[in-house]
A and B are shown apart, each in its own frame.
Chain A
């Protein structure tokens, strides 16, 4: 296999990595918000449930969560639910049946939503009480205060920790290969196994590095754009 052919073969896998990355970010980031609000709830029961949930999800390896999401429903209902799914989805991507990818997406989204929720909570709680009170004495409603005063300050504060988490996410997508989803590392292992080529495994690092480089530039720009004020 030529260098070019290897590159194309690995890039096929990297598209799956990017898919996991994009879906986790697009679903996990919004999902983190209600979890954050539950963790800050005045209702003790809601708060407790949310805290325990976040504790479990952050306390257990993501790889184990992927196994649980993929296998446990099948065990419970005595039928391999996820491996049936490709009948309902018209994606069939080599060995990648849709069910495996969906299981990975669910596990990643839940896991990252919990991490994001903690970042949001930290950001929201770091805004001084004085900002809320200044809004209150001006006769604003709670919603107006959150949307027009608090939110942008929170966003400014969470961009650096979110950037960190987002960069970790693209590398975490490699975990998908534990249930034989053909992301880039799995593709490289495939080459090692079938063609006795080991160098593509190391070559995968370049894909991650290029993508992380792009992310760093974009996130850095965002951070700079928000630095016009100091909260």
Chain B
């Protein structure tokens, strides 16, 4: 059975329909890349998965547990929403590190507040995660002393510290200088080798092609095309997909 089951998610902002019925499923350890132009609803979809927005309709099921079913969206308590969020992690485009905490504290803050272990255990696993993302030597630095790429890697470690079942990335390299995107993408790729289940919204077509198990192309709030990277990139069926990929690939 799939780890994550998303069924017919719909979301409106006022009169604008942003998501018009999104369904997909994701197996444990798989990487899903979502591509599409700005305004196609990719980010809103991730925000619904992380309960930063509540979908108007549709359901989200993780590991057989229904987290939300459109009908009861408005009756969910703050506490239920908070619990639901713990199934997911989210890495933001702008990192959103906590500026007053150093690198290590950024990673240990949430596990400490949520009492996910003894202070020692939490610190040990935070150090391990930061080693993993290549920042073992920056533990005492503050976010403003780091490059964008380093900040994003801290943000990844921070999200991993709570061991979410699905880790989501919202254009993790879009705010970075071109020469810094590589280090972040390499970290994400290394997570795949550790069987982390991930959803990556990205404009990095090469990355999506090489790392994802499944690629979704979204346009105007619907999934236009879904398949393996070979299918979506190599043999797109829809005109919209073809046009998008032409635009993304043939810059010159």
Contact = CB atoms under 8 A, between A and B. Distances in A.
Interface of A: 128, 130-131, 133-142, 144, 148-149, 152-153, 156, 228-231
Given A133-B52, A134-B92, A148 B109 contact: yes
Contacts of A228: 142
Given A131-B98, A134-B92, A139 B109 contact: no
Contacts of B86: 139
Residue among B50, B100, B162 facing the most chain A CB atoms (10 A cut-off) = B100
Q: Is the interface of A mostly helix, strand, loop or mixed?
A: helix
Nearest to A130: B96
Given A138-B85, A141-B78, 10 more contacts: A130-B96, A136-B50, A137-B88, A137-B159, A139-B162, A140-B110, A148-B113, A229-B101, A229-B142, A230-B143
Contacts of A152: 100
A141 B82 contact: yes
Nearest to A230: B144
Interface of B: 50-52, 78, 82-83, 85-86, 88-90, 92, 94, 96-101, 109-110, 113-114, 142-144, 158-159, 162
A137 B113 contact: no
B85 A139 contact: yes
Contacts of A138: 85, 109-110, 114, 158-159, 162
A144 B88 CA distance: 19
Nearest to B116: A139
Contacts of B85: 136-139
Contacts of A139: 82-83, 85-86, 110, 114, 162
A153 B143 CA distance: 14
Contacts of B50: 136-137
Given A148-B109, A228-B142, A229-B142, A137 B52 contact: yes
A134 B52 contact: no
Which of A130, A134, A141: most chain B CB closer than 10 A?
A: A134
Contacts of A148: 109, 113
Given A137-B85, A141-B82, A142-B78, A153 B99 contact: yes
A135 B99 CA distance: 13
A38 to B, nearest CB: 21
A230 B101 CA distance: 10
Contacts of B100: 152-153, 156, 229, 231
Most buried by A among B98, B101, B114: B98
Contacts of B90: 137
Nearest to B109: A148
A7 B149 CA distance: 62
Given A139-B110, A149-B98, A229 B88 contact: no
Nearest to B52: A133
Tell which of A138, A149, A231 has the most Cβ of chain B within 10 Å.
Answer: A138
Contacts of B97: 134
A136 B78 CA distance: 11
A50 to B, nearest CB: 24
A133 B97 CA distance: 11
A201 to B, nearest CB: 47
A130 B109 CA distance: 16
B82 to A, nearest CB: 6
Contacts of A128: 96
Contacts of A231: 99-100
A133 B96 contact: yes
Nearest to B168: A137
A152 B105 CA distance: 15
A138 B101 CA distance: 15
Nearest to B161: A138
B158 A133 contact: no
Contacts of A149: 98, 109
Contacts of B51: 136
A177 to B, nearest CB: 43
27 contacts: A130-B92, A130-B94, A130-B96, A131-B96, A131-B98, A133-B92, A134-B92, A134-B97, A136-B51, A137-B52, A137-B89, A137-B159, A138-B159, A138-B162, A139-B83, A139-B114, A140-B113, A142-B78, A148-B109, A149-B109, A152-B100, A156-B100, A230-B142, A230-B143, A230-B144, A231-B99, A231-B100
